[in-house]
């Protein structure tokens, strides 16, 4: 596995996290349809970023 895969995971989790954080804070992209979904996606983005960082440091 190359280093591109964990870097891509970190970038995508960051972008997704910013998107759902903006929705949670201001309701911009999705008009705050579901607050628990926003929180769940933010937790998932954090987990993905953490796992990607661990894989990146291991290589």
CA atoms within 13 A of residue 25's CA, in its CB half-sphere:
7
Does an H or E element contain 53, and which? Answer: helix 35-58
pTM over 0.85: yes
Separation of alpha carbons 18 and 30, rounded Å: 13
Please tell me whether residue 8 adopts helix, strand or coil conformation: helix
Q: Over the stretch 11-41, which tens digit does the pLDDT of each residue have? A: 999 999 999 999 999 998 989 999 999 999 9
Closest-CA residue to 18 (of 37, 48, 41, 36): 41
């Amino acid at each position: 596995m190359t280093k591109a895969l964990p870097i891509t995971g970190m970038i995508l989790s960051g972008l997704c996290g910013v998107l759902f954080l903006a929705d949670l804070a201001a309701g911009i992209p999705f008009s705050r349809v579901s607050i628990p979904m926003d929180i769940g996606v933010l937790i998932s983005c954090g987990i993905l970023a953490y796992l990607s960082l661990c894989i990146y440091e291991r290589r």
